[in-house]
């Protein structure tokens, strides 16, 4: 068995799971206030994330751990070459988590407003920076014979910023769909309308991204050689359209699942496009970090595969249980119990 290739698939799935799960609470973090008309509804927006947001971040931690264990050269490269960018993402995620937990600790309007603004800015920044990071990976980094030759400001190129805005649009739509069936009635109705309008902006950004990717990246190469991979972008497009149709039919919870699938398929499509590279070089493919020149030993990968087989079903099972347990929309009684928000 080619364990290096298998771990590339695991790595892609972990990132896809993270963006599909944490995407909605990042989206709620920076756009939930648009759906809330009063303090009770704003509290409901924050309370809707309470049982879920920290569990969603387990996928990010696992993706980071998998990178360290399976592809140590990639991990070293990321934290050496892109340290300032990764530190900004970390600080954003910390500020987002603190804001969610601290908002309801003091019953004062100024206190709540400060933490709501913190949640908005930090959630938007995290979403944007994740998109910028993956936009640069899709485009290729300035990796040469001496290592990374680029600059921090060079990461903020137009294509990467477009990818960042696309991520923000995805998470906005995803977050509003979550509120459309989870938030109190008034906020849920407004969230449904916001999601319906946001879909058009998301679709337009997706078309621009796909066209620009054709011109500026090598993402399409694998799809032209291995036609079966074309199923991924086709499924992605189908899931995105299905989300809009289901929302128009008044089924926001099903639309949320379609949006979940669209984000996961978009991420997997990107990874399929860069394979076998994990960090492609824009200077020369010979300098790319791939599954073969940056992976751990076969023994390590084989041992880690056994661990994943045992523990991944436990993690997935736990999250399925939590989502089923708290699947009901927030009503007046639940809001009374959610005073911490």
**In terms of pLDDT, which residue wins out, 80 or 336?**
80
What is the per-residue DSSP string for 116-171? HHHHHHHHHHHHHHHHHHHHHHHH-B-EETTEE---TGGGS-HHHHHHHHHHHHHH
Closest CA to 18 of 80, 69, 62: 62
The answer to whether the CB of 176 falls within 8 A of the CB of 195 is yes
Check residue 156 and give its pLDDT.
92
The answer to whether the CB of 289 falls within 8 A of the CB of 143 is yes
Number of domains in the chain: 1
pLDDT, tens digit, 9 for 90 and up, residues 168-206: 999 999 999 999 999 888 899 999 999 999 999 999 999
* Mean pLDDT (the chain, rounded): 91
Check residue 335 and give its pLDDT.
58
Instruction: For residue 135, give Cα distances in angstroms to 159, 266, 317.
Output: 7, 12, 32
Check residue 178 and give its pLDDT.
96
Q: Which residue has tokens 């490269």?
A: 77
pLDDT higher than 60, residue 227: yes
Dihedral angle at the C-alpha atoms of 27, 170, 126, 274, nearest 10 degrees? 150
Check residue 333 and give its pLDDT.
59
- Give me the mean pLDDT over the 235-245 stretch: 97
The answer to whether the CB of 254 falls within 8 A of the CB of 246 is yes
According to DSSP, residue 289 is labeled E
Helix 252-274 to helix 185-216 angle (10° resolution) is 20
The three-class DSSP label of residue 302 is helix
Check residue 161 and give its pLDDT.
96
Confidence of residue 332 (pLDDT cuts 50, 70, 90): low
pLDDT, tens digit, 9 for 90 and up, residues 99-110: 988 988 888 889
**In terms of pLDDT, which residue wins out, 227 or 251?**
251
Check residue 334 and give its pLDDT.
59
- Across 10-14, 106-110, 120-124, 287-291, least confident range: 106-110
pLDDT higher than 90, residue 296: yes
pLDDT higher than 90, residue 226: no
pLDDT higher than 60, residue 339: no
> In this structure, how many other beta carbons lie within 10 angstroms of the beta carbon of residue 176?
32
- Give me the mean pLDDT over the 54-66 stretch: 90
Domain encompassing residue 169: 3-337
pLDDT higher than 70, residue 330: no
Check residue 84 and give its pLDDT.
87
Confidence of residue 1 (pLDDT cuts 50, 70, 90): confident
Distance CA 86, CA 93 (A): 11
Check residue 338 and give its pLDDT.
53
Tokens of residue 261, six digits = 């699938």
pLDDT higher than 70, residue 337: no
Check residue 141 and give its pLDDT.
92
According to DSSP, residue 218 is labeled S
pLDDT, tens digit, 9 for 90 and up, residues 244-279: 999 999 999 999 999 999 999 999 999 999 999 999
Closest CA to 262 of 246, 238, 229: 238
Check residue 98 and give its pLDDT.
93
pLDDT, tens digit, 9 for 90 and up, residues 306-325: 988 888 888 889 888 988 88
Check residue 336 and give its pLDDT.
58
pLDDT, tens digit, 9 for 90 and up, residues 123-163: 999 999 999 999 999 999 999 988 888 888 889 999 999 99
């Amino acid at each position: 068995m080619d364990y290096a290739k298998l771990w590339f698939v695991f790595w892609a799935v972990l990132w896809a799971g993270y963006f599909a799960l944490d995407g909605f609470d990042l989206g709620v973090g920076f756009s939930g206030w648009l759906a809330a008309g009063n303090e009770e509804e704003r509290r409901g927006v924050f309370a809707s994330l309470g049982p879920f947001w920290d569990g969603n971040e387990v996928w990010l931690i696992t993706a980071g751990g998998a990178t360290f264990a399976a592809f140590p050269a990639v991990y070293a490269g990321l934290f050496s070459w892109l340290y300032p960018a990764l530190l900004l993402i970390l600080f954003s995620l910390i500020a987002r988590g603190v804001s969610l937990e601290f908002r309801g600790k003091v019953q004062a309007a100024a206190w709540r407003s400060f933490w709501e603004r913190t949640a908005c800015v930090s959630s938007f920044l995290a979403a944007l920076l994740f998109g910028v990071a993956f936009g640069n990976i899709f485009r290729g980094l300035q990796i040469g014979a001496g290592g990374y030759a680029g600059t921090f400001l060079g990461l903020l190129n137009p294509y990467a910023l477009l990818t960042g805005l696309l991520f923000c649009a995805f998470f906005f739509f995803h977050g509003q769909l979550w509120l459309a069936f989870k938030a109190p009635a008034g906020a849920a109705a407004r969230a449904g309308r916001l999601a319906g309008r946001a879909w058009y902006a998301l679709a337009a950004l997706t078309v621009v991204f796909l066209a620009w990717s054709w011109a500026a990246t090598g993402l399409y190469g694998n799809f032209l050689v291995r036609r079966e991979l074309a199923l991924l972008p086709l499924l992605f497009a189908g899931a995105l359209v299905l989300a809009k149709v289901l929302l128009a039919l008044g089924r926001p919870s099903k639309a949320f699942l379609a949006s979940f699938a669209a984000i996961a398929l978009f991420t997997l499509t990107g990874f399929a496009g860069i394979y076998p590279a994990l960090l492609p070089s824009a200077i020369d493919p010979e300098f790319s970090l791939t599954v073969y020149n940056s992976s751990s030993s076969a023994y390590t990968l084989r041992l880690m595969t056994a661990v994943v087989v045992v523990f991944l079903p436990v993690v997935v099972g736990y999250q399925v249980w939590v989502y089923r347990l708290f699947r009901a929309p927030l009503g007046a009684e639940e809001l009374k119990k959610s005073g911490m928000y």
